[in-house]
Structure 1
Amino acid sequence: MVNWYRYDNSSHLILKLYIQPGAKNTAVTGLHAGNLKIKLAVLPIDGRANKCLVRFLADCFQVPISQIEIKEGNKSRQKVLLIRKPGLNPNVLYDERIAT
């Protein structure tokens, strides 16, 4: 089992992601080197990819954009994001039991 997510002491969700910008569609595609891989349908120009990623995660977890923060990797494909007090489980993005 890969640890692409964890909860901190405040019940905030921490996600380890690998981002592939410039795809046809924005979607979760599986695991990549211990990170959850997400393709984004935008190019990484002027922060558009990061904005798209945050909007995508806000929609998936049904939280306001203000509850999501990029902690590491602002200009990298590998990112660590924090979602403050998500109401939904990380399985809304990717369920390893179903994918394998």
Structure 2
Amino acid sequence: MRKSIEYLQESNDGIKLFLIVIPDSEVNEIAGIDPWRKAVKIRVNAPATENRANMCLVNFLSNILSISKECIEIVSGLKAREKTVIIRNINKKDIMDVIEHAANKKA
């Protein structure tokens, strides 16, 4: 799928991952990559109230990337669908492989 890896960016703090989060979905899943917004679309089954969708997002990313929740931090977009997440203790290629594998299953 290697159309664009602009949804990932290396920084001093870790790897930045740009997301579009869709709350109130039936399942937690990577729904694809939006090439125009340069972001990964993720569906979460929690509502966008009382920080539930954000907590669900962090749990989901932790599970699919096999890293601790403490390694994931939402750095922008806490109250928006478009979010930027910093991920630590994992390399860019490993994140990209997981995302693209999941996105290819949806294609």
Same fold (TM over 0.5): yes
Residue 89 (structure 1) aligned with residue 76 (structure 2): no
The TM-score normalised by the length of structure 1 is 0.86
Structure 2 residue 54 is matched with structure 1 residue 50: yes
* Contact kept? 2:44, 2:56, Cα under 8 Å: yes
Encode CA deviations 1:24-78: one digit per residue, 9 max, x unaligned: 1110011222110001111111000000000001111111111110011000000
Aligned residue for 2:22?
Answer: 20
Unaligned runs of 5+ in 2: none
Stretches of structure 1 that go unaligned for 5 or more consecutive residues are: none
Instruction: Give the secondary-structure state (helix, strand or coil) at the position aligned to 2:25.
Output: coil
Structure showing the higher helix proportion among its residues: 2
Which of 50, 61, 72 pairs up with 1:68? 72
Shift of 1:95: 4.3
- Normalising by structure 2, we get a TM-score of 0.81
- Residues 17 and 38 in structure 1, CA contact (< 8 A), matched pair in contact too: yes
How far did 1:96 drift? 9.2
1:37 aligns with 2:41: yes
With over 3 angstroms needed to count, the CA separation of the structure-2 counterparts of 1:50 and 1:58, relative to structure 1, is: same
Q: 1:97 to 1:70 in 2, by over 3 A?
A: closer
CA RMSD of aligned residues (A): 2.2
Deviations 1:67-96 (A, max 9, x none): 110011000000000011216712212249
Contact 1:73–1:80 (CA under 8 A) maintained in structure 2: yes
Instruction: Measure, in 2, the Cα distance between the counterparts of 1:6 and 1:96.
Output: 19
User: Stretches of 4+ moved more than 4 A in 1?
Assistant: 95-100
Alignment partner of 2:100: what SS?
coil
